[in-house]
Amino acid sequence: MTAPLAGRTAVVTGAGQGVGEGIAAALATRGANVVVAARRAETGEPAAAAIRDRGGEACCLVTDVTRGGDVQRCVTETVARYGALEIMVHNAFHGGRPHRLEDVDDALWATNSRTAVWGSYYCARFAAPHLRAAGTRGRLLLVTSPAGVEGSVNLPIYSPVKAAQRALAKSLAREWGRHGVTVNCVAPVAETPALTTAFAANPVLRERLEARTALGRVGDAERDIGAVAAFLAGDDGGYITGQTVVCDGGSFMGL
Amino acid sequence: MPALAGRVAVVTGADQPLGRGLALALGTAGAAVGLVGAARALAAVTAELDARGARATAVDTALSDAAGVTTAFATVADELGAPVCVVVHTAMEPAAFDPMPFEEVDDDRFDAIWEGTMHAALAVLQASFAQMRGRGGQILLVTPTVGMSGVPGLAPYAAALEGQRLLAKSAARQWGPDGIRVNCLAPAPEQVPIGVRSVDVSLAPAALGGPGDAEHDLGPVAVFLAGDDAHFVTGATIGVDGGVWMAP
């Protein structure tokens, strides 16, 4: 059986750790050439090496998604190395500590907005010609959050930037559908360094999260989230566009 | 007694038909109305409110100036004699309304639409909180349904709409204990100058006909959300588009 993503090339931002690393590994396992786009080589290089150790094809390109020039260079180098770019996954995010909305200042806003929204904009813009060239194999996948649907009491700025990604996905799905390109979001809850930090700061959080999750556990970045991303990235997910797939074990059930 | 008698409201974007209609509805329902924005463009609406016996004032402010917005709300409270307890935010960066293929959107344009809209919304929310803290109040963000439906050529506008809608949900969750309710009103796309019709985003026509009149069709819903009968409604998005976009 041919691997479902064999011969396709993916860029995954924020792939040095957490959900991004899981998605990168899942895509590589299914045959894709994967560019681990990480802000820091210290995380990106080991993530790429781990994929190669498992027999996959991967390389790390140091990329700060808040810089358009970085994203443009990452896309250019990806195409130079692998010949095409079919799958663009924007996962990188840097937010901040819990905050009060009345205290939000420009710096906190910018931290959230630059990685989530500007990162999406740059990834979409610079990948666009290559996705269009890929036609029905072209995929843009944005990693959002259930908080971008239901709001957040502790991270009020996190919700709007994650919602904006969902809105970009819907509008771009309508705009690029004529080329066969799909644009979707996944909204995961998974074991990540960020969640570990949140659990450490709030000892009852894990218990609360698991109690309100139908499947009773926090997801695994590669097996639970990466697999869904890979499905959307492949031919089997080709008729799904403009959607947000919530992969949270059955916590938020919005529709 | 009118539903909003004795209340002081702020409306942004009243220089546009949507904001104007909602301002007239609030004034007719008894509110004293402060119009915040470019005062010269607001004089006609102030005069209309005066003609209906509603107290009104216009305060000249750029919504891009957060400190200025807080000051403008305080000025409205001073001029109209009580703290602002109702805020209806309809203003939108004009560039957001012009369709353009996404590949042609550059950094300056994306910045104007996304950052401009979100900074204005954040400034309006923070200025509202300064007025409502310890007293309670009602905030209404107007977010046309195209943010939820998606629309080709207007991705940055849609992102800014959904950003505002989720900002409202977060504010609702965080400020509920302060007695502050935050909701969204979602009108038909025809209510904003983007050249999109309801039939462009849905196979079905508007169940009630459309797209409705800002003052007489949307206004009563805004008055309801701003009034006491909606005291248990927060974080909600109420679609008021005549029955096109029905979600969830």
Tens digits of per-residue pLDDT, A9-33? 999 999 999 999 999 999 999 999 9
Residues A106-140 have pLDDT tens digits of 999 999 999 999 999 999 999 999 999 999 999 99
* Pick from A104, A163, A173: CB nearest B166: A163
Search chain B and give the residue with CA nearest A165: B159
Using a pLDDT cut of 90, give the percent of chain B over it.
93
Q: Give A102 to chain B, closest Cα distance, Å.
A: 5
Q: State the best of A66, A70, A102 to mutate against chain B, taking most chain B CBs within 10 Å.
A: A102
Cα gap B117→B110, rounded to integer Å = 10
Bigger pLDDT: A39 vs B198: A39
A142 touches chain B (CB under 8 A): no
User: Is the pLDDT score of B159 beyond 70?
Assistant: yes
Q: Which helix (H) or strand (E) holds A207?
A: helix A205-211
Report yes or no: B24 and B217 within 8 Å, Cβ to Cβ: no
Average pLDDT, integer, range B67-84: 98
Identify residue B76 by its one-letter amino acid code: V
Do B150 and A155 lie within an 8 Å CB cutoff? no
> Which long-range contacts (C-beta less than 8 Å, at least 24 apart) are formed by A19-22?
A19/A91, A19/A143, A19/A188, A19/A190, A19/A192, A19/A221, A19/A225, A20/A89, A20/A91, A20/A92, A20/A143, A21/A47, A21/A221, A21/A222, A22/A190, A22/A220, A22/A221, A22/A222, A22/A223, A22/A225, A22/A226
A129 touches chain B (CB under 8 A): yes
Q: Residues of A with catalytic annotation?
A: 158
Do B163 and A160 lie within an 8 Å CB cutoff? yes
Cα gap B135→B7, rounded to integer Å = 12
The pLDDT, as a whole number, for residue A157 is 97
Do B174 and A156 lie within an 8 Å CB cutoff? yes
Averaged pLDDT score across all residues of chain B: 96
Do A255 and B165 lie within an 8 Å CB cutoff? no
Instruction: Name the least confident of A37-46, A137-146, B192-201.
Output: B192-201
Using a pLDDT cut of 70, give the percent of chain B over it.
100
Average pLDDT, integer, range A68-92: 98
Instruction: Name the least confident of A56-70, B63-77, B200-214.
Output: B200-214
Average pLDDT, integer, range A95-112: 93
Q: How far is CA B204 from CA B154, B162, B242, B243, in A?
A: 21, 23, 11, 9
* Partners of residue B11 on adjacent β-strands: B35, B88
Report yes or no: A89 and A23 within 8 Å, Cβ to Cβ: yes
Confidence band of A255 (pLDDT split at 50, 70, 90): low
User: Is the pLDDT score of A1 beyond 70?
Assistant: no
Do B162 and A152 lie within an 8 Å CB cutoff? no
Question: Would you call B162 helix, strand, or coil by DSSP?
Answer: helix
Q: Give A218 to chain B, closest Cα distance, Å.
A: 23
Residues B19-55 have pLDDT tens digits of 999 999 999 999 999 999 998 999 999 999 999 999 9
A98 touches chain B (CB under 8 A): no
Average pLDDT, integer, range A49-69: 98
Q: How far is CA A68 from CA A115, B52, B123, in A?
A: 11, 52, 27
Question: Would you call A253 helix, strand, or coil by DSSP?
Answer: coil
Residues B89-121 have pLDDT tens digits of 999 999 999 999 999 999 999 999 999 999 999
Cβ atoms within 10 A of the Cβ of B111, count? Answer: 15
